[in-house]
C-alpha cells in the first residue's frame, strides 16, 4: 500500500491496535483486487487465444499446424513446462499411443513420438474420459496414482499434470496434456476451464480433418471410377472397331458363300440333271440313283448355305424397336400353316392382347420358327394342340411361350437345342437343318431377353422367351 496513505491513516487512528487491524484489512482487500485484476487479464488473454484457435479452424490448415500453434499459445498463457497432444493408436483399446504435437521448455526433454503403453487405461479410464472426465493432478507423488501411472508420467519428468480429453465426435481420439515439470502446481478453475475450451475447439478440428479425409477418399474413389470408366470406354471403343472389322469380314464371307459356292453347286446340280436327262438310257439303275443322290446333296448344301446366311443377317441387321402385337403375328402365321395342310386337325390357342416392344421383322422370324417347329413335331399325331400365351416371372417380366403336345424331347439333351445344326430327332422323321432354334436364340438375345425350353418325349414341348432383361421388371 502507498506509504503516504498509511501515514495519513495512522494520524487519524489514535489507537495503534486499531490502526494495525485497519492496515491488515486494507492489505487483504488490495490483494483481492490484485487477484481479480490478474484473473481479468488472464481471461482477456484466454479469449484472445481462443479467438486465434477459432480463426485457424476457419483456415485451410492441417491438424498438425493447428496443434503446434495451439500448444505454443497454451504453454505461454499457462506458463507450463510442456503442452502436448497425445493420440491413441486406432484399434489399440486406448492402451497405446504417442505424442503427435508439443511445445516444451528447452530445459526438459521432448515427448514426441515416444510410444506409451498403459495396460489399464483402456479398461478403467477410457470410458470416463470419453464422457468428458478431466484430470488435474497437483503432485503425481501425492495424488494416490498407481505405481505404473507414476512410472509413465515420471519418464517425461512430469510433476503436475492437467489432462483433458480430445474427442472426435463421440470417439476418444486422444488427450490434451499440460505438464508442470519443475515443481508441483495447483491448477486453478479458470485454467481448467480454459484447457477444456481449447480441447473442445481442437475436437472441431479433428472432425473437420475426418470429414476432409472422407471427402478426399470419396474424390479419389470417384477419380478411380472415372479412370475405370474411361479405360472401359476405350476398351469398348477398341471392341467396337474390332467388331466392325469382323462384321466386314463376315459380310465378305457371306458374299463369297452366296456367290462363289453357289456357282459350283449349281454346276454340279445342273450337270447331274443333264446326265439323268441326256444319258438316261446309258446309265444303269445304280448310276441313276447316284446322280439323284448327288442332286439331293447339292440341293441340301444350298439350303444350308441359305440358312447360314439368314442366321448371319439376323445377327447383323439393324433393329427398329416399336410396339408389336404378337397375338396378331402368331394368328397370321398359324393361318398360313393351316392353309398349307388343311387336312390336319390342329387346335390353335392364341392369347389375345400380347403386346411387346421390339423389331417386328425379327419377332415375326422368331414366331415363325417356334410355331413351325410346333407344327412339324405334332405332325405324327392325328389331333394336336398348339398354344401361344404369356405368364409372369418372379421379377414381373412377361414370359411368352409356345407349347405343343407333339414329339417332345429328352431334357438330357436340352443344352444342344439352340446350337446351330444341332438336331435331337432323326431327319427322316422330322426334316430340317437345325438352324431355326439358333435363330430364335439370337433374336431373343438381341432384344435383351433369354430363351429356354422344357419337354418330355411324346408329351410335347414348351419354349419360353423374354424380350427384356430380368432386372428391367424388378
* pLDDT tens, residue by residue, 158-174: 999 999 999 988 889 99
CB atoms within 10 A of CB 198: 25
Q: How confident is the model at residue 72 (pLDDT cuts 50, 70, 90)?
A: confident
Give mean pLDDT, residues 462-470: 87
pLDDT at residue 307 tops 80: no
- The whole-number pLDDT of residue 7 equals 64
Which of 127, 121, 101, 123 lies closest to 112, judged by CA?
101
Q: Give me the sign of the Cα torsion angle 426, 428, 433, 439.
A: negative
427: pLDDT strictly greater than 60: no
Output the pTM of the full model. Answer: 0.46
**pLDDT value at residue 29:** 67
Which range (60-64, 196-200, 213-217, 351-355) has the least confidence?
Answer: 60-64
Cell, residue 14:
489514535
- Low-confidence winner among 41-45, 90-94, 127-131, 150-154 (lowest mean pLDDT): 41-45
C-alpha cell at 204: 472441431
**Structure-block grid coordinates of residue 368:** 415363325
pLDDT at 198 over 70: yes
The stretch 80-85 carries a mean pLDDT of: 92
At 58, which helix (H) or strand (E)? none
Name, of 26-35, 92-101, 258-267, 290-299, the range with top average pLDDT.
Answer: 92-101
**For residue 389, how many C-alpha atoms fall within 13 Å in the half-sphere facing its CB?**
10
At residue 471, the pLDDT reads 60
* pLDDT of res. 474: 44
Task: Give residue 137's pLDDT band: very low, low, confident or very high (50, 70, 90).
Answer: very high
d(CA 460, CA 385): 10
Amino acid at each position: 500500500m502507498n506509504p503516504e496513505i498509511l501515514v495519513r491513516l495512522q494520524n487519524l487512528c489514535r489507537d495503534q491496535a486499531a490502526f494495525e487491524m485497519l492496515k491488515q484489512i486494507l492489505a487483504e482487500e488490495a490483494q483481492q483486487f490484485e487477484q481479480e485484476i490478474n484473473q481479468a487479464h488472464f481471461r482477456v488473454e484466454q479469449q484472445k487465444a481462443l479467438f486465434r484457435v477459432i480463426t485457424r479452424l476457419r483456415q485451410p490448415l492441417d491438424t498438425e499446424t493447428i496443434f503446434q500453434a495451439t500448444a505454443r499459445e497454451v504453454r505461454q498463457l499457462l506458463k507450463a513446462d510442456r503442452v502436448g497432444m497425445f493420440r491413441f493408436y486406432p484399434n489399440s483399446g486406448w492402451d497405446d499411443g504417442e505424442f503427435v504435437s508439443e511445445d516444451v521448455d528447452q530445459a526438459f526433454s521432448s515427448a514426441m513420438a515416444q510410444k506409451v503403453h498403459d495396460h489399464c487405461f483402456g479398461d478403467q479410464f477410457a470410458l470416463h474420459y470419453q464422457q468428458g472426465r478431466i484430470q488435474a493432478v497437483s503432485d503425481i507423488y501425492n495424488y494416490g496414482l498407481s505405481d505404473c501411472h507414476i512410472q509413465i508420467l515420471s519418464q517425461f519428468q512430469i510433476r503436475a499434470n492437467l489432462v483433458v480429453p480430445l474427442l472426435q465426435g463421440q470417439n476418444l481420439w486422444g488427450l490434451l496434456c499440460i505438464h508442470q515439470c519443475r515443481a508441483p502446481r495447483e491448477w486453478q478453475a479458470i485454467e481448467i476451464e480454459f484447457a477444456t475450451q481449447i480441447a473442445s475447439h481442437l475436437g472441431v478440428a479433428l472432425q473437420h480433418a475426418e470429414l476432409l479425409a472422407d471427402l478426399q477418399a470419396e474424390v479419389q474413389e470417384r477419380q478411380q471410377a472415372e479412370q475405370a470408366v474411361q479405360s472401359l470406354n476405350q476398351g469398348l471403343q477398341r471392341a467396337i472397331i474390332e467388331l466392325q472389322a469382323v462384321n466386314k469380314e463376315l459380310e465378305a464371307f457371306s458374299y463369297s458363300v452366296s456367290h462363289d459356292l453357289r456357282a459350283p453347286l449349281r454346276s454340279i446340280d445342273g450337270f447331274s440333271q443333264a446326265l439323268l436327262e441326256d444319258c438316261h438310257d446309258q446309265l444303269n439303275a445304280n448310276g441313276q440313283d447316284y446322280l439323284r443322290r448327288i442332286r439331293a446333296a447339292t440341293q441340301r448344301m444350298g439350303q444350308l448355305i441359305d440358312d447360314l446366311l439368314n442366321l448371319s443377317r439376323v445377327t447383323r441387321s439393324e433393329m427398329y424397336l416399336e410396339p408389336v402385337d404378337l397375338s396378331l403375328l402368331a394368328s397370321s402365321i398359324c393361318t398360313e400353316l393351316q392353309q398349307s395342310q388343311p387336312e390336319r386337325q390342329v387346335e390353335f390357342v392364341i392369347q389375345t392382347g400380347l403386346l411387346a416392344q421390339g423389331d417386328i421383322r425379327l419377332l415375326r422370324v422368331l414366331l415363325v420358327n417356334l410355331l413351325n417347329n410346333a407344327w412339324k413335331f405334332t405332325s405324327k399325331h392325328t389331333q394336336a394342340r398348339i398354344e401361344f400365351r404369356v405368364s409372369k416371372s418372379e421379377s414381373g417380366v412377361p414370359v411368352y411361350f409356345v407349347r405343343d403336345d407333339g414329339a417332345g424331347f429328352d431334357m438330357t439333351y436340352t443344352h444342344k437345342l439352340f446350337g446351330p445344326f444341332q438336331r435331337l430327332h432323326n431327319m427322316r422323321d422330322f426334316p430340317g437343318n437345325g438352324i431355326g432354334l439358333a435363330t430364335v436364340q439370337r433374336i431373343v438375345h438381341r432384344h435383351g431377353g433369354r430363351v429356354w425350353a422344357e419337354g418330355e418325349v411324346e408329351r410335347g414341348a414348351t419354349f419360353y422367351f423374354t424380350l427384356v432383361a430380368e432386372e428391367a421388371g424388378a
